[in-house]
Structure 1
Amino acid sequence: MKKEVGHNFLARLGKKRLRPGGVAATNWLIQQANLSTDSQVLEVACNMCTTSIQLAGKYHCQITGIDMDPRALEKANRNIKNANLENYIRVRQGNAMKLPFENESFDVVINEAMLTMLNQPAKEKAVAEYYRVLKPGGILLTHDITFAKENMEERLAELRRTIHINVEPLTVGHWAGLFHSAGFKQVDNATGPMSLMSINGLIRDEGVIGALRIVKNGLKKENREQFKKMYSFFNTTGKDLNYIAVCSSKK
């Protein structure tokens, strides 16, 4: 079986929501942001710009998206054009740990499903960059993976084998500590079960037709082994893993 990174595999099957808590967690984050037409927003690791398109369509705010993957940015530009939102969203290649922006440039920074994939020093470097580019009183919105039980190393190793990428989730307390250490003051969070590959989550995030299309594509011969492996993990042993959405305010 060809080892394909989990989120790239799901995107190829047709999945648009590639975040641990799906639309429920993203919507919680958006509710914390108090967005308006005057808001300057940065989405880090924007991928195909699903969240940015949702925000620009609803709030008509100005959004800059960055991602390291040029193929993701190609998809993002197509999606932005199809949504007729070129006047609101711009995307470019960029590194979260060395953001190509001046200090205090944005009211809101959004980063979903990326920090989990970084080791601790890289997490700290990225969060310090988010703090730097936020205006005083600005908001950082993040969406990652957490766990409540201790001694999860074996389960996390299985997660890494399943999605073919290194991940380092944190406990709720350690996530909060990461943001406080960077200088953020108020840190609020919401947690819940991961919906990435549950039936209810697929339907909620992608709609019935979208969910059926993903399952149909997943069961094709060339995809079946990886799809079944991921589906089995996230619906059995991986149920101890949760999403965590965090809203952190800059002083």
Structure 2
Amino acid sequence: MTETDYSDNAGGPTTSEEHRAAGHWLLAKMGKRVLRPGGIELTRRLLGALGIGTGDRVVELGPGIGRTAQLVLDGSYARYIGVDPNADARQQIAKVLTGHHDAAVEEGDARANGLPDGCADVVISEAMLTMQSAADKSKIAHEVFRTLTPGGRWGMHELSLKPDDVDQSVVDQVSKALSRTIKVGARPLTTKAWTQLVTEAGFEVEWTGHNPMKLVDPTRIIADEGLRGALRFFNNVRRNPQARQRIMAMRRVFHANRDHLEAVALVARKPVSTEAAPTETDPKLE
């Protein structure tokens, strides 16, 4: 998911956009700032596990409005680069970067980010791989491997399926239900399959964390947005009946599939010594 700020018109006149818009677009239009499946709490745990320090060059793929970027910039880092293909998103992240040293945003696609080999010590990606096909998931994993220096870390935060041995028919059913409701192709993997994805690209997984998937539950919204932000979001939704209908439908699907949905975060390290980068293959993880 890419975070986008549509809050200037939040709660404004209802249009057919509320019916056809991607779920993350709609939530952002209503004023939601944290669009991560495990919430800001799992993002904070991920950043803690990454242990970003004063010497680390950080690249964030798809930073959106910059909620995670702000957490990075408020800490220690050597350099921060956000990479996003969306011009509007780049404008918004640029505002977050203002006043921070060695911080920039560049145009690029996660599958081919345009950055030099080994230019980063840390790469961060959140709520983005879930929406990609199996082939593109593999391309992105290999591109992250290329971008990192030996010993570099990749922190990812995605939607996950459980348990690891979940039947494929359930995977298909959940993925279809999510895609139909959020109107974006959703292809979550089990924790085991996410781990397989990164290890096949050459990484070694060092840390794994989980959180319940409660993106639109009131308690999670308050925890993510703070009381004032949550009240603003609830009021915007109340004033927009079609948006409320969509968001409630999303919540029902998340709730109906709660036994098989969760959020996962991984920290994967590129080995210090590698003879050659792994050959990209189609892992057929869907």
TM-score calculated relative to the size of structure 2? 0.82
Which range moves more in the overlay, 155-164 or 133-142?
155-164
The yes-or-no answer on 1:53 pairing with 2:70 is yes
Residue in structure 1 matched with residue 246 of structure 2 by the alignment: 226
Residue in structure 2 matched with residue 91 of structure 1 by the alignment: 105
Mapped to 1, the partners of 2:25 and 2:79 lie a distance apart of 27
Aligned residue pairs: how many? 248
1:155 to 164, 174, 190: 174
1:193 to 212, 215, 235: 212
Q: SS of the counterpart of 2:265?
A: strand
Residue in structure 2 matched with residue 246 of structure 1 by the alignment: 266
Mapped to 2, the partners of 1:88 and 1:193 lie a distance apart of 35
Listed as ranges, the matches of 1:1-251 within 5 Å are 1=16, 2-81=19-98, 84-85=99-100, 87-148=101-162, 149-150=166-167, 151-219=170-238, 220-238=240-258, 240-251=260-271
Find the structure with the greater CA-based Rg: 2
CA contact (8 A) 1:5 1:163 kept: yes
The runs of 5 or more residues in structure 1 that have no matched partner are none
Percentage identity across aligned positions?
Answer: 29
1:224, distance to aligned residue in structure 2 (A): 2.1
Mapped to 2, the partners of 1:170 and 1:60 lie a distance apart of 31
Which range moves more in the overlay, 43-52 or 192-201?
192-201
Q: Deviations over 1:154-173 (max 9, x none)?
A: 12211101111001111111
Q: SS of the counterpart of 1:242?
A: strand
1:216, distance to aligned residue in structure 2 (A): 1.4
The runs of 5 or more residues in structure 2 that have no matched partner are 1-15, 272-286
1:12, distance to aligned residue in structure 2 (A): 1.1
Mapped to 1, the partners of 2:259 and 2:88 lie a distance apart of 31
Amino acid at match of 2:182: I
CA contact (8 A) 2:49 2:207 kept: no
Mapped to 2, the partners of 1:122 and 1:237 lie a distance apart of 25
